[in-house]
Structure 1
Amino acid sequence: MQDSSNNTTHFGFKEIPTDEKVDAVAQVFHSVAAKYDIMNDLMSGGVHRLWKMHTINQSGVRAGNKVLDIAGGTGDLTLRFSRIVGSTGQVILADINDSMLKVGRDKLANKGVVGNVKFAQANAEALPFADNTFDCITIAFGLRNVTDKDAALRSMYRVLKPGGRLLVLEFSKPESECLSTIYDQYSFRLLPFMGKIIANDSESYRYLAESIRMHPDQETLKGMMDSAGFERTSYQNLTGGIVALHKGFKY
């Protein structure tokens, strides 16, 4: 959480000036962008693809819809959404990091995705879109990197159409102590080692592990969505709570 009393916020386990976090996170993702997809597969054993597919299935998106994929990175969700919305719909892949956007743009072009996808470099805290624009908004593994999560959720609510839904897919708190202990060992020992071997960057992956621990737990995030105005908020734990899918509607 941001500490308004001394204008600092967390960057992993560190406290840094709030106005430095965007640049600090940007450096992490500039560093990992080229190896991002490979590391995702290795880190999760490919299970991240199942988490994302479940998010797609829960989105309610159909032909002709307009979808915003925030922190869309290398475009996994955008690729699938573009096929669902078809020629009469549109998907906007938004990311604050230009390195990730470039990787996503190239990846989607290589997959033959053209016409119904646009790209936007945007900060989730102040989305550059008109009110009531999107039928569905997703943010997958990106909210924990946002400095002011409450502002971001309010911004998402603003640009969502009445009747639309937000889906937040994010690492969360394991349901059992045993799983939590195993997950900690994996996160703080194996993950930085894999980052060093595959991406030549152990520090960025140490930050990513720390950022997961600093992210609000399931109930806290649900409450934050309620406060932002979302209704019928709920969450579903995936893989024992290592990941949770939060859902909220705008009416």
Structure 2
Amino acid sequence: MDKSGERVREMFRQIAPRYDAMNHLLSLNIDKWWRRKAVQTLKIEGDAPILDLCCGTGDLAIAIADAAGPDIQVVGSDFCHAMLEIARDKEAARVRDTAGGSGRQTIPFLEADSMALPFDDNAFQCVTVAFGLRNIADTDQGLSEMARVCQPGGQVLVLEFSQPTLPVLKQTYSFYFRHVLPRIGQWMARNDKSAYEYLPESVGKFPCGEALAGRMRDIGLLHVTFRPLTLGVATIYVGEKPGRTTTHAEQAAQREDEALVST
């Protein structure tokens, strides 16, 4: 599968104008609920900024900023200029609609390579990515960069498609994902990079569940847990960057969480 930067960037450039409409249609709007669950999973403390990389058209970054409050700066980054332009338009519309954007800080959307982020070490209290990690050419490098720019004790959160394990659902989902979604998506998005054939192929070849959690542990994250959503169609993964001393109560709670995940 071709995950080269040029191919993926051009693919998203071509589908950018219809990207949001297609996501909502093909997921039956469940993608909005998945993002809400991701935001609820974040432990936002103090006033350190938050980074959402591979931010696309900005939906997760905007949801985080709305939840974080006025003192926390949220930053979005992506390497596709066309997607960022849509994110900036959304943020500008929000500012206009709220009489100057009162209530929270405006999100800067920056063009950046997720394998070489232009941010200092330990700069963000949380670093997130939604449905973008599998598009990074080197998954481990992308995770390593997320951990590098995260503060000690901060969260690295991944929201990504996964593969259901229930037998009937697995077969139904696989048929829809591999045969129905590509035809509808390609007809509506009209691009020459087969974006909606790339989607099921990229999901099928990407690690999920314990396999991705293990990759997160391998790059040094601690207390890694994952939570399947919608019977495993998507999954939220969370890890903590080492460095913060945890209390005995926190350690006990974490052991209980990990025991629940493993059962």
TM-score, length-scaled by structure 2: 0.84
1:169-184 residue pairs with structure 2 within 5 A?
Answer: 169-184=159-174
Which range moved further: 28-37 or 191-200?
191-200
Alignment of 1:124 with 2:107, yes or no, is no
Q: Distance in 2 between matches of 1:164 and 1:84?
A: 17
Given that residues 150 and 241 in structure 2 are in contact (C-alpha distance below 8 angstroms), is that contact kept between their aligned partners in structure 1? yes
Q: 1:44 aligns with which of 24, 27, 43?
A: 27
Given that residues 132 and 158 in structure 1 are in contact (C-alpha distance below 8 angstroms), is that contact kept between their aligned partners in structure 2? yes
Q: Which amino acid aligns with 2:50?
A: V
Query: In the TM superposition, what is the alpha-carbon distance from 1:204 to its structure 2 partner?
Result: 1.1
Deviating above 4 A after TM superposition, structure 1's stretches of 4 or more consecutive aligned residues are none
- What is aligned with 2:219? 228
- What is aligned with 1:30? 13
- 1:14-53 superposed Cα distances (whole Å, 9 cap, x missing partner): xxxxxx7110111110111110110011111000001000
Query: In the TM superposition, what is the alpha-carbon distance from 1:110 to its structure 2 partner?
Result: 1.0
- What is aligned with 1:98? 81
Q: Distance in 1 between matches of 2:207 and 2:66?
A: 33
Given that residues 65 and 85 in structure 1 are in contact (C-alpha distance below 8 angstroms), is that contact kept between their aligned partners in structure 2? no
- What is aligned with 2:182? 192
1:75-86 residue pairs with structure 2 within 5 A?
Answer: 75-86=58-69
TM-score, length-scaled by structure 1: 0.88
- 1:75-109 superposed Cα distances (whole Å, 9 cap, x missing partner): 11111222233332211100111111111111111
Q: Secondary structure at the match of 2:137?
A: coil
Structure 1 unmatched ranges of 5 or more? 1-9, 12-19
Q: Distance in 1 between matches of 2:46 and 2:154?
A: 14
Given that residues 63 and 85 in structure 1 are in contact (C-alpha distance below 8 angstroms), is that contact kept between their aligned partners in structure 2? no
Given that residues 122 and 149 in structure 2 are in contact (C-alpha distance below 8 angstroms), is that contact kept between their aligned partners in structure 1? yes
Q: What root-mean-square deviation, in Å, do the aligned CA atoms of Structure 1 and Structure 2 show?
A: 1.6
Query: In the TM superposition, what is the alpha-carbon distance from 1:115 to its structure 2 partner?
Result: 4.2
* Percent of aligned pairs sharing the same letter: 35
* Structure with greater proportional strand content: 1
Query: In the TM superposition, what is the alpha-carbon distance from 1:152 to its structure 2 partner?
Result: 1.0
Query: In the TM superposition, what is the alpha-carbon distance from 1:62 to its structure 2 partner?
Result: 4.9
Q: Secondary structure at the match of 1:229?
A: coil
